[in-house]
Structure formats: structure tokens, C-alpha cells
Amino acid sequence: MIFGDLPVSDTEGALLVHSLRVGARMFKKGRRLTDEDLDALKTAGFKTITVIRHEDGDLDEDSAAARIADAAAGDNIEISSAFTGRVNLFAQQHGLLVYDADGLDDVNLVDESATIAALTPFEVVQPKQMIATIKIIPFAIPDAIADSCASLAGQNGGLIRVAPFKPFRAGLIQTALGNTKQSVLDKTVRVLGERVETLGGAIALERRCDHAQAPLSDAIRDINSSDCDVILITGASAITDRRDVIPAALEAAGGKVDHFGMPVDPGNLLMLGALDGKPVVGLPSCARSPKLNGFDWILQRLAAKLPITPRDIMRMGAGGLLKEISSRPLPRANATDSAVTTNPSAPKVAAIVLAAGQSRRMGAANKMAVAVDGHPMVSRVVDAVLASKASPVIVVVGHEPSVVRGILDGRDVAIVENKNYAKGLSTSVIRGLNALPDDVSAFLVCLGDMPRISPAQIDRLIAAYDPVEQRAICVPTFNGKWGNPILFDRRFVEEIKGLTGDRGARHLLDIYPELTCEVAMPDDAVLVDIDTPEALAKLAG
């Protein structure tokens, strides 16, 4: 890759390294410079600019990130589109994030230019939660580096996966001494029940017995004969040795003790065993509390049907000091809203499809119903949006609303009618904004007469959206020209609602150049709308 300062006249086709204000416009870093751009730069007084050019054997940052992400993503992972050399991985299931930390290090050790960052292994994740990000540091890397990283990341079906929690039935045994209060046992059932239910399980049955080897062995055999997947035992007295009551009772019942003790505090005095292939867990006394403890880490793996070996337990010491972590209570249902929502997650981006206009320049025909490649124009646009990551999809109708409704019948869209459509485009945009759900982060404004728009182009806009990095407006470009649809952060809703007449929200790009991100597209579909019979004929030709 060639990097350096060049005379403006020598930079056609090069990528801009630093964002520049060029007259009233902002040229963002990574922009591929066109002849028109060079004229604008010269007019603005630029003599030289810093650019890069790819050389043979280079792979651009987005392609490299996508290649590594595709290899790294295992089961139950959603992959975002690449943008600025970054691809994010999101969980598709409620479960545990699973990957080999050494394997992750191996990828990151290939070269400084290619990186993977992930949440902690075996962390509980929620659907749509971001769990890892692949970032290419420079604008391009050698193809060989991308291949090496992808090869390592793709071993065993993908470096990173989510093991989903699966329904399970737990049998609970509680031992008691003469002074044990029944209210304490009742509370334990409630706390453990909530903990188990959070992971998709249920306490299917409970037994109570004296804290002695013989009655406990009988209770273990009884529970084992029932239809349960795991046996949990809480003792009136904590387990202090492999020869104590609970381990001895398990062995007397025909089971075995696989491991006793763990380097997690609270939770040190945990026993893990098995009976007839069924996991048996002797709980530490801290399991009676809803606060996070070592038992949670064991229960989470059992709920995800992951094997647990003594070595797995003995390696839990890193991060195993939990006493001071007051912000991590369990079960999750009792966590505060802020604790649950602080995890970065995929933004919810809605789409507003404008299909209300009178299409006067098309003649007598309603252009929304005009066939393009055998399908009504509006259905091609709506189907592309539905196949993208945008959700929900809101379609604004006005002129001949029954025609458009009939075309879209059966599709998963919300149709709203703009009775003031004759007053201009702004009224349809505002009608769509009024229908947005409260939980969307951003929205796309899509024109119903752009039949070549693809789901991949829409997803590329969504991937570019990042208000934290000042990408609050995302506009597609082809050869430096702005097109549609345009994505806006929700912060602009009220400002857009002030529009009047036949005017959209494109003027915001000039008002907020520092918040506008230009997203280059591989073809001119984002520039093609069909307003006249001549344009339709050209498209067909």
C-alpha cells in the first residue's frame, strides 16, 4: 500500500487519508477521489493531499474484515456488514459466549494490522448483543495476512460461537439439622428457582431430608429416578472435605465426585459430581443468595449443555474474585434496567418507504404499480427493504392507497395513509416519522420508485451508522454523488418534522457535515429513481 502526500492532480482514484472540508462540503477519510472531487479540491485551494493507493496483493479494509469475520463466526452468530474496516458480531441466542482465548490470541498475533476484540469467554449474552468486533487498522492489508487470520479463526467451525441455553429440569435436595428453619429452606427454593428460570430451566421437584449420609443417599437415588437433567444439593452445613456428608452420600448412591473446590469467591466450597451420567452439584452456601457466585458459572454451562471438567473449574480463578462486584446481581430478571441495557447491541433501524405521490410525470399510470422485471415497482423496493436488517418497515401511502395496499398485501409492513399527500413530499415523511416506534435508534427514508435498491446496500448504510463516531447521517454515494435512501439518527426527528412543501430532509447533510457519513456503493442503483416513462424505458433497456 502506497501512503503519502501527492499533488491533487495525481490523486484520481486514490483514497483520502484525512477528512477535509472542501467549500461547503466535508470529504470524509476513505473517500475514493473522482475527477469532480479533484476540481473541487483545486477550487478550494488544495495543492497536495494525503492519500493511499492499493498495490498488487493488497486487500481493502472492508473485504479483509469481512473475510476474517466470516471465518470466525460460528454457531448462533450474526455478522454485520463491513464498514471502515470493521465488522461486528452479534449473538442470535440467549446463552454463553464460547471461544478459546488462546485461539483469539493466535489471530491477533498474526500482524498488528488485523485485530479481534471480544467479550470475556463464557459471558452470558443476549440476542442482538454485540459480542466481538473485527477491525482492520490501516486502509488495506496484504491478502496473505487476511488469509492467515481467516485460516486460524475458521478452525473447528469458527473461533467464536454462542452456546444457547436449553430447557432443563433440575431436582433439588435440601438437608436440614434440628435447628434449621423451614423458612430458610423455602427461601432457598425461591432463590434457586429464579436463578434456574433465568437460564431457561425449572426446579421440577424438591426433596428435604436430614443432614446425614444415609437419608441423603436415599434422596439422591429418589431424585435420580425421576425425569430431571441435573441434581442440586444444598446442605445444612457447608461441604468441608471430599469425605463430608454430601460427597459421601453421592458415592454411596452409586455416583462419583469429579471435583471439589473452585478458585471463585464466593463459591469456593462447590462440589461437582455425576450419577448415571447426570450432573450432581453440591452447592456452596452462597448459592442461597441471589448475588453472583461460583455456582452461577457452573449452572450457566450446564444450562448451555457444555461439558465441565476439573481443569475447567481450576482455570476459573482469573476474574474469580467476585466479592466486590456489587453491580452483577443475579438473577437477571432482578437487575436494573441500566445494568441490562449498557451492553452494546445492534441498533434498531426502521425504514420509511414513501409511496404516496401522484407521479404526475409518469402520466396516467400510478408508477408504484408499474411493472419492473415483472413485479410492481413498489413491491421491488419493499421486498429489498424487508430482506435487509431494517425493521420495522413503514410504508406511507396516499395517492390511490388501495392500489398500493393491494400490491403489498401479505407483506410484514405497517401501512399508514397520508391524506395530505398532495401538499408535497414533506407531509409523507412526517407521516412516516409519526409512525416510528419509540425504541428505534435511527430510520431510513426510502423512495418507492427506486427499484434497483438491494438489501446489501441498505445493510451497508446500517453498518456505517455509529452516532458515537459522528456518523449520525449516512448517505449512499456513487462516484461521489449523493443518492438514496438516507439514514438519519433519531435525534433529527423533530427537526425533520418542521419541513413543509415538496421537500425532503437532504438539506440536513449540508447543515451537519460533521455528522454526515458518505457510504460508497458499488453501482449507481442509489442514484436511479423512476419519474418518467423515458426513465422506465431506459431502465428496461
Per-residue model confidence as pLDDT tens digits over 433-486: 999 999 999 999 999 999 999 999 999 999 999 888 889 999 999 998 999 999
Between CA 180 and CA 288 the distance in angstroms is 14
Q: Residues 89, 42: one domain?
A: no
User: Does a structural domain hold residue 58?
Assistant: no
pLDDT confidence tier of residue 337, bands split at 50, 70 and 90: very low
Q: Residues 180, 305: one domain?
A: yes
User: Does a structural domain hold residue 59?
Assistant: no
Q: Residues 108, 209: one domain?
A: no
Q: Residues 371, 226: one domain?
A: no
User: Does a structural domain hold residue 188?
Assistant: yes
pLDDT confidence tier of residue 504, bands split at 50, 70 and 90: confident
Q: Is the pLDDT of residue 24 over 90?
A: no
Beta 349-355 vs 371-372: how paired, if at all?
unpaired
CATH number for the domain that contains residue 109: 3.90.1170.30
Q: Residues 363, 512: one domain?
A: yes
Residue whose C-alpha cell reads 459471558 in the numeric block = 123
pLDDT for residue 533:
80
Domain end residue (candidates: 123, 144, 164) = 164
Between CA 497 and CA 443 the distance in angstroms is 14
pLDDT for residue 323:
64
Between CA 448 and CA 474 the distance in angstroms is 19
User: Does a structural domain hold residue 382?
Assistant: yes
Quick one: CA torsion of 322, 326, 332, 336, rounded to 10 degrees?
A: -160
Q: Residues 443, 423: one domain?
A: yes
Between CA 29 and CA 20 the distance in angstroms is 8
Q: Residues 447, 372: one domain?
A: yes
Domain extent, residue 118, equals 65-164
Beta 371-372 vs 375-376: how paired, if at all?
antiparallel
pLDDT confidence tier of residue 344, bands split at 50, 70 and 90: low
Domain count of the chain? 4
φ, ψ of residue 478 to 5 degrees: the values are -140, 125
Q: Residues 202, 231: one domain?
A: yes
Q: Is the pLDDT of residue 333 over 90?
A: no
pLDDT confidence tier of residue 532, bands split at 50, 70 and 90: confident
User: Does a structural domain hold residue 354?
Assistant: yes
pLDDT for residue 364:
67
User: Does a structural domain hold residue 83?
Assistant: yes
Domain end residue (candidates: 314, 341, 368) = 341
CATH number for the domain that contains residue 435: 3.90.550.10
Q: Residues 358, 261: one domain?
A: no
Q: Residues 135, 180: one domain?
A: no
Domain end residue (candidates: 164, 198, 221) = 164
Average pLDDT for the chain: 92
CATH number for the domain that contains residue 221: 3.40.980
Q: What is the 3-state secondary structure (H, E, C) of 18-39?
A: CCEEECCEEECCCCECCHHHHH
Half-sphere exposure of 297 (CA within 13 A, CB side): 33
Residue whose C-alpha cell reads 488469509 in the numeric block = 147
Q: Residues 13, 115: one domain?
A: no
User: Does a structural domain hold residue 98?
Assistant: yes
pLDDT confidence tier of residue 342, bands split at 50, 70 and 90: very low
* Residue of 259, 82, 229, 227 whose CA lies nearest to 166: 229
pLDDT confidence tier of residue 537, bands split at 50, 70 and 90: confident
Q: Residues 362, 409: one domain?
A: yes
pLDDT for residue 195:
96
User: Does a structural domain hold residue 60?
Assistant: no
